[in-house]
Amino acid sequence: KECTAEAQQALLDADCSDCYPQVAIDGDSGTAVLTSSAKEVKLMSLIDGIFRAILDPIDIGSSGRSPAISGDSIAVGIPERVILYEKNLFTETWLQSTTRLKPETQEFLNEERFGSSVAIDGEIMVVGAPGINVNTGSAYIYQRTQTGSSSEYAWSQVRKIRRPGGDVLDFGGEVAVKGGLIAIGDPKFGQNGINLFAHGSKSERGAVFVYSSYESEAYTSRIENTECMRWFGSKVVLTDE
């Protein structure tokens, strides 16, 4: 069924497994990847709005949390790991990889929210884990390299960007990457206990940290929310401009 106004209203009362709450767009190819609570991954053409393919379902028991697409690579973040799809350039079909991305550390535990946010640009992927280190957060940088034939690739972790000092409490809640720039959102930045809202919640100004290269952990700029609003930095997008 389509997600009409009635179906959207039904979300208030029951789970709508046919709705697609998460979407990522590849403007170069005119393709959108959508995930749903039904554990489906679908591709849609932005030209005519027609679904072009239904990919292999993601792991049983997990719903897609954060999709990303760039060229012939798709990544879908699910609880504590990232599912990968690669496009075969000869057959024009998408295949799910048997590889599941996880941090390369023995100290990584469950509930670190690895995969809460994912972004891809060419050969670089950024994965957020805002729950690691008692909800202070980190972001993991992966690089894709060719391993065999022209359609065989592997993603390897090349760096971990730890949260900066100060009032950073949800670093990696959102990530973006474009043309060498990396942006990492922290919607809970500045949670200092001051009650600014009528319902009495603590102030969460939010901030976005921008890095000019994945090779350094030092951010080049910090964009802070100066208004009385919540969840600034919960969505971040980088463009060519």
pLDDT digits (tens, 9 = 90+) for 181-206: 999 998 877 765 443 443 434 456 78
25: helix, strand or coil: strand
Which comes out higher in pLDDT, residue 60 or 231?
231
Q: Are the beta carbons of 23 and 10 closer than 8 angstroms?
A: no
Give the confidence band of 63 by pLDDT, cuts at 50, 70, 90.
Answer: low
Q: What is the pLDDT of residue 183?
A: 95
| Tokens matching residue 42 | 């679908």
Name the burial class of residue 126, with classes exposed (0-12), middle (13-18) and buried (19+) by CB atoms within 10 angstroms of its CB: buried
Q: Return the closest-CA partner of residue 132 out of 105, 157, 115, 109.
A: 109
> Cα–Cα distances in Å, from 209 out to 90, 150, 220, 231?
39, 35, 8, 14
In the Cβ-directed half-sphere of 103, how many Cα atoms lie within 13 Å?
Answer: 25
Given this model, what pLDDT does residue 197 score? 40
**Closest C-alpha among 120, 130, 123 to residue 176:** 120
* Digit-coded pLDDT (tens) for 128-163: 988 776 667 889 999 998 776 655 678 999 988 888
Task: Supply 40's token pair.
Answer: 């489906």
Is residue 126's pLDDT more than 60?
yes
| 15 vs 25: which has the higher pLDDT | 25
DSSP letter (8 states) at residue 197: S
